Structure 1
Amino acid sequence: MSTATAVDPGTCDALRRVLAPLGTLVRAERLTGGTFATTYRAHLGDGTRVVVKTAPTDATRLMTYEHDLVRTEARVYALAAGHPGVRTPALLATDLTRTVLPGDVVVAAHLPGVPWTEAGLAPDDARTARLRRELGAVMAHLHAVDGPAFGYLGAVEAVGGPADPPGTRLHGTTWPEAFGRVVGAILADAQAWDVPVPADAVRAALAAHHDALAAVTRPVLVHGDLWPGNVFVDPATGALTGVIDAERALWADPLLELVGADPWTLGPPSADVLAGYAGVAPLDTTSDAARTRMLLYRLHTALVLRVEGAPRGYAPDAAAWCRRTAERTWTWAFDELAAIG
């Protein structure tokens, strides 16, 4: 659950400068609960509330794919402005100079409601079913946005540019190429941080199922992290009010979205989510190729979970949970891939 803490005077002064084009800062509080960026809720003189997100400043504690992610969030919100069904907050301002605050800054509208994780909705509540269907529809609207190539947004946009910062090669002209680079970067991070992962088995699975990945020929906008903590809801009705934290977005296979939204459930996607998606667009989730890709994506999410605790310095209990969950997930995924053949 997120909580709010006081903001020191120096940071308040910096926020005041960032927010000056939008209004006068009255007060701000830091929202805790996330594990990547630093987020503030700011109250302006006209009563408006906005959310200010700043990127981590210590690049040595980032995984390869995590460089410049706050810039990606700004890009997604700008893209979504032309697609109301995507339901992201309005992008209000950015500061990418890294001079006012030490990292990139994104200012977005404050969504009504609360995170799904704090809404008190039971799994069998009719409001929960409604929420899942609405989430499926949001996914379908996201996936109507086409991209120029496969991979992380920043990596794709950096192609052909003068710079080659960390993470810019996480792209490809085909989905097997891009996804292979994405997974390869995680395996390299695991080696760099001395985290044990089944690297050889993962590489073998990607090679064995190249054709299933190659069946994806259209790169679409995938949020990649639509778990309940990033979904805002009206707890009274179960209505979805918006989705946040799009910094991990990439041009990819839409099936990656289903795994990112429910990464630790071993089994098929939610029937309610699929029903909501089908109300907007068709999506194959039952063919052998589709099932194979979703299993490969579960390997990907398990690897991220297993590795990220090392650079972030997770506490022992959290690190142990991540290790157990990741190992359970990839063991199951390898078995399921073997069963498909």
Structure 2
Amino acid sequence: MRGRRLRGSRAPGRYPRRVIDALTSLVAPIGQLASADLLTGGQFATTYRVTLTDGTRVVAKTAPTRTDQLLAYEHDLLRAEALVYGLAASRPALRMPRVLLTDFSRTVLPGDAVVVSHLPGVPLADAGFGPSTQDPRTALAERGTGEVLAALHGVTGPAFGYPCGRQEATWAESFTGMIEELLDDAARWSVPVPASDVRAALERHAAVLSDVTTPALVHTDLWAGNLFVDPATGAVVGVIDPERAFWGDPLADLVGIDPMGREPGTPFVLAGYGPLDVDSPSARVRLDLYRLRLCLVMWIEMTPRRFEGDWVEPHRTAVVANLRRALDALARV
């Protein structure tokens, strides 16, 4: 959903002075800025790849200053990202960058900022691999995705919910709160989501959420733009952007890796993961509940973010249709 693209390398004199001054001050504790690349394609933070004078590359990520354009759950997301990276520091199987520094004072920059190590590889979305049934590199990447998810879900938290936000004792309470927050966001921006249908589906199937008893660490957004691979082999070498993570049901990550799909991962993803129930009645219902949630996020965020371009309306149409498919499936069981 929210990948990164390189817009172009610029020496300090090529960006506005205020941008260079801010980046220079931000990275000063670890080195002197030589050049910066703006990475585009993200829909939340502003991200730069910074090269220091000693040749070291780091990634500096800054939170948006327009908090009036954020959904309720998006406040303090960079603090959540830093927290997840901290948890990953002693778990190399998670393949996440190291946090080099954080600045949550909002004095160097208007918003929170995190600087992390630069990962090797390229985003899977840009690797140009063919279908996994034909390209062994794609098959290896998908298997690696499953392995990363299994390792991630082995990390457990103290309660259900957002690491830096609302948490509850049960997954049912937490997930219901997440949905209600989204419906409040929709009302605030007059996004015409079918709120009564959503609430009815959640009430009808609330019992299956009680099947989740352990708050696992869920990335929620591990699509092909946030997964870095070796372009020669397809091996997974890095995972980024866990700022939207929560403590919850591992099945939600199978929706996050393919937001518009109807199947819970591919055979290679599931093989890499290992034993995981995706076929029981409870699992199938929970998967549709998580599709419902993610479609709400993607639909609602379009209004406060003021997305523009030819892609917007087709994207909105696809998201709304996918939400309706999830609601219809939930109504049939």
Segments of structure 2 that go 5 or more residues without pairing to the other structure are none
- Cα displacement (A) at 1:289: 0.3
Contact kept? 1:232, 1:242, Cα under 8 Å: yes
Q: 2:171, 2:63 → 1: CA distance?
A: 28
Which residue number in structure 2 is paired with residue 121 of structure 1? Answer: 129
Q: In structure 1, what is the Cα distance between the partners aligned to 2:273 and 2:35?
A: 40
Offset of 1:316 from its aligned partner? 5.4
Is the CA contact 2:38–2:47 (under 8 Å) kept in the aligned structure 1?
yes
User: Is 1:19 aligned to residue 15 of structure 2?
Assistant: no
Counterpart for residue 167 of structure 1 = none
Say if 2:257 is the partner of 1:266. no
Equivalent residues of 1:302, 1:325 under 8 A apart: no
Aligned to 1:201: 197
Q: How does 1:179-190 map to 2 (within 5 A)?
A: 179-190=175-186
Match of 1:106 in 2: 114
1:129-169: CA deviations, max 9, x gaps? Answer: 110000100001011111010001101xxxxxxxxxxxxxx
Kindly provide the amino acid, as one letter, of the partner of residue 2 in structure 1.
R
Pair 1:152-2:152 in alignment: no
For 1:227, the equivalent position in structure 2 comes to: 223
Deviates more, 1:267-276 or 1:42-51: 267-276
Corresponding residue to 1:10 among 18, 25, 47:
18
Superposition map of 1:1-341 within 5 A: 2-5=5-8, 6=10, 7-123=15-131, 124-155=134-165, 170-278=166-274, 282-315=275-308, 317-339=310-332, 341=333
TM-score (norm. length: structure 1) = 0.92
Deviation at 1:208, TM superposition (A): 0.8
Aligned length: 323
Q: Which residue of 2 aligns with 1:165?
A: none
Q: Residue deviations 1:202-260, cap 9 Å, x none?
A: 11111111111111010011111001010111111101110101110110100011101
**Is contact 1:305-1:322 (8 Å) kept?**
no
Name the SS of the counterpart of 1:228 in structure 2.
Answer: coil
The whole-number CA distance in structure 1 between the counterparts of 2:249 and 2:121 is 30
- Supply the distance in 2 between the matched residues of 1:184 and 1:243 (Cα, whole angstroms): 30
In structure 1, the gaps of 5 or more residues are: 156-169
The amino acid across from 1:60 in the alignment is D
Contact 2:85 2:99 in 1 (8 A): yes
Task: Find the aligned partners of 1:327 and 1:28 in 2 and give their Cα distance.
Answer: 38
Q: Aligned AA for 1:105? A: A
2:6 touches 2:37 (CA, 8 Å); kept in 1?
no
The percentage of aligned residue pairs carrying the same residue is 52
Measured after TM superposition, the shift of residue 275 of structure 1 is: 0.6
State the secondary structure of the residue aligned to 2:51.
strand
Contact 1:26–1:44 (CA<8 Å) still a contact in 2?
yes
What amino acid is aligned across from residue 327 of structure 1 in structure 2?
Answer: V
Q: Judge conservation of contact 1:266–1:332 (CA < 8 Å) in 2.
A: no
Asked whether the 8 Å contact 2:60–2:113 carries over to 1, the reply is: yes
Give me the whole-angstrom Cα distance separating, in 2, the residues matched to 1:79 and 1:59: 27
Separation of aligned partners in 1, 2:99 and 2:215: 23
